[in-house]
Chains A and B, each alone.
Chain A
Amino acid sequence: MRSGIFLAGLFIAALFYPLIFPNLLSIAIYFLLLAGWATSWDILGGWAGQVSLGHAAFVGVGSYALAILAGRYGIAPWWGALAGMALSAALAWVWGLVTFRLRGPYFTLSTIAIAEILRLVAIEEAWLTQGAEGIFIFSLKSPFGFDLFDRQVEYYTALLYLAAVVGLVAWLARGKLGYQMRAVREDENSSQAAGIDPTRIKLIAFMLSGALTALGGAIYGVYLSYLEPHDIFFLPLSVQIALTAIIGGRGTPFGPLAGAFLLVVAAEVFRNAFAEANLLIYGVLIVLVVIFLPRGLIGSWQHRAVRRRYARSARG
């Protein structure tokens, strides 16, 4: 409850950000999108326990769907984004059907393989994607007279996106699906004994996760307004998305958000203090988190908070 109020406060504060920092919108947009992607990733990776290192593929599908539909057929960007989400959900469904027989690290490896194959497809199938030449988003229909290429509009779109994804996950976490996903993550056999079909739950999680990542991808596409397979279907982007959620705390509604904040701020600090060494420090940070905060920032805090609360109630 308290965290809900805290987040509502954050959201309201975020509404005023462009007024205070009108020239620091790009980095804020990237933060919002990264947080949104990590939260979406976490539906599969944290709540349902299937670590994917292939989510850049959904960023790609979302952004490319919007770009191709808008560029070739003049379809409005919101329909393009929706199409990207639908396509991503379909992709996740097939992807999951094929790979969910694999568990743990084998599933993770298979996600890398599939995302890499998709990258090659995006490069080679130029009739569809314009291949390595890349694809531009020159003009888009304006909803209610808003120019979607305006950084302020993009900022608020990204903010809405993040709020929607975090809100959805927080809501899911309290309900049936949220608990079923956690049950599957903890123990597939026990979850079957509770009447849960693990494959179905994982598929739902994957489809939701993919579709929401694609929605963020569509916003990212408009923000870049130029897409190129090497930079979008990019393994390090997949890794970045996963690490953001993991460092923040998997399977917590606000962990990925905290992770994105830490990483963007840390990157900012490191680049000033360490310049060339910033990614090295980043690697050290990951190792330290894994060793000392195995549940991530929010996860470790929450883990202790639950115990503290119980201890207090047991005494009182």
Chain B
Amino acid sequence: MRRLAGTFFVVLFSFGVAQDTLNIGIITSFTGRFAEFGAQHRAGFEVALAEINANGGVQGRQVELVIEDDTSSQQTALAAAEKLLSRDVPIIMGAYSSSITNPLAQYFTRQEFPFLVFTSSADSITSPGSDWVFRINQPAATYAEILFDVFGILEATESLESIAVVHGNGTFENAVAAAAESLSEARGYELVEIQSYDQGLTDFRPILNRFKAKSPDIVFMVSYSADAVAIMRQVKETGLSAKVFVGAAAGFALPEFLEGAQEVAEYVITATAWTKDVNFEGAGELYAALMEARGKEPTYHAAQAYAGLLTVADALNRAESLDPETIQRALAETDLRTSYGPIRFTDFNGYRNQNPVKMVAEQVQDGAFVTVFTQEGVVNPILCPVPAWESR
């Protein structure tokens, strides 16, 4: 309902002097089911905006953000996009959910207007993609890739042969699961089960009992946060043991997962886009700044919003004018180092204008996320095999 109410509203952030400012358009979710992620984005934008304007703004002008709330609805996001186009912004960034960003990307491609994606992960946003859509964050398939890289490392000491996948049936979870399926085949794992579940499901026991009967070496889970907690609790309850438990989506990498699942979260390896421990300069400082802006534990979504805004400011600084083609060319030539990671847009593996930044893997150890694997390799020891539930 909320998303259908057909509403949007403008939040104007103005920092510093508002004379001759440059507006940047943003669409994300402040209300509706994705509101929590919009709040994370807001923290990232605030930190980046302060940094940009403190460094003299863009082309000598102070930057202002025109932020539209899409109320977690496709229809409202499209209305917001149309409105932003009329507000004299040179570039637009958006949105949280892939189901919202997909139609937005289509729209801006048709309008031939530069659009920067910073959180949405569906492969389809940049594959096939278009000349006008740029993405700084990792596509869904890479969530699975990093975890399969971890399996490769672990195989030095453990024999991992079979894998069972459980995933939600949303766009993003589905894409990660599909990637896991093809990677299993490509890298020689036996996929013994792949089961999807509908949103709002609360009883995972039948699925987990099915897995138990097959005793897979790897249990591969793709879920949002609420489900992540319920799944791990029921994994313990059903006594499903495996050598490796991985959670390949947002749900397992959020602080809420640790709070809700507590001791059952232990040993779970998750894929995440960014942590404070990544090997990029300033990551620790960024974490602290985001923490302050959000007032609580920031997630990688905040860092993505931060890096997205920096990318836009960088491209605008290099562009001689504010017409769409010029900005598009400037974006295409981006080569930026940020505390989120390096940002450049290339075409590879069927992706277009996609930043090839790698994912990071972390493991829950003693009730906290520990970064264990980055593009540099193993950075902290990975605990494996996971002890059976009886012996914990």
Contacts and interface: CB of A to CB of B under 8 A. Distances in A.
A–B touch (CB < 8 A): the answer is yes
B376 interface: no
B198 interface: yes
Contact of A230 (B75, B110, B199): B199
A237 B75 CA distance: 12
Contacts of B5: 267, 270-271, 278-279, 282
Contacts of A240: 1, 4
A133 B124 contact: yes
Contact of B7 (A31, A223, A228, A268): A268
A133 B171 contact: yes
Nearest to A31: B6
Interface string B330-350: 000000000000000000000
Nearest to B10: A272
A30 B7 CA distance: 11
A94 interface: no
Interface stretch (A21-29, A175-183, A249-257, A287-295): A21-29
A242 to B, nearest CB: 12
A42 B9 CA distance: 31
A75 interface: no
Nearest to B106: A225
A227 to B, nearest CB: 9
A78 interface: no
A123 B8 CA distance: 29
Interface string A198-210: 0000000000000
B78 A230 contact: no
Given A131-B174, A132-B174, A224 B74 contact: yes
Interface string A275-288: 11011001000000
Nearest to A232: B74
B6 A264 contact: yes
Contacts of B82: 23-26, 151
Nearest to B105: A226
B326 interface: no
Given A26-B78, A149-B110, A282-B1, A133 B199 contact: no
Interface in B149-170: 169-170
B214 interface: no
A30 B1 CA distance: 14
A190 to B, nearest CB: 37
A132 B171 contact: yes
Interface string A81-106: 00000000000000000000000000
Nearest to B170: A132
Contacts of A225: 103, 106-107
Interface in B164-182: 169-171, 173-175, 178
Contacts of B81: 26
A161 B4 CA distance: 20
Contacts of A239: 1
Nearest to A229: B169
A223 B79 CA distance: 11
Interface in A166-181: none
Q: Is the interface of B mostly helix, strand, loop or mixed?
A: helix
A26 B79 contact: yes
Contact of A271 (B1, B9, B169, B175): B9
B7 A270 contact: yes
Contacts of A25: 82
Contacts of A131: 169, 174
Contacts of B171: 132-134, 228, 230
A276 B170 contact: no
B113 to A, nearest CB: 13
A197 B235 CA distance: 56
A249 B78 CA distance: 29
Nearest to A21: B86
B86 A23 contact: yes
Contacts of B79: 24, 26-27, 30
Contacts of B74: 224, 226, 231
Q: Which residue, of B8, B86, B169, has the highest number of chain A Cβ atoms within 10 A?
A: B169
A80 to B, nearest CB: 17
Q: Which residue, of A132, A137, A271, has the highest number of chain B Cβ atoms within 10 A?
A: A132
A107 interface: no
A133 B81 CA distance: 23
Given A27-B6, A271-B9, A136 B1 contact: no
Contacts of A124: 169, 196
A275 B86 contact: no
A236 interface: yes
B85 interface: yes
A275 B99 contact: no
A14 interface: no
B124 A237 contact: no
A121 B391 CA distance: 42
A268 B6 contact: yes
A120 interface: yes
A232 to B, nearest CB: 9
A237 B83 contact: no
Contact of B102 (A30, A223, A226, A271): A226
Given A123-B169, A236-B3, A282-B5, 7 more contacts: A24-B79, A34-B6, A124-B196, A228-B171, A230-B99, A240-B1, A271-B71
26 contacts: A22-B86, A24-B82, A24-B83, A26-B75, A27-B6, A27-B79, A30-B79, A123-B196, A132-B196, A133-B175, A133-B178, A134-B171, A136-B124, A226-B74, A226-B102, A228-B102, A230-B171, A230-B199, A267-B5, A270-B7, A271-B5, A271-B7, A271-B9, A272-B9, A276-B31, A279-B5
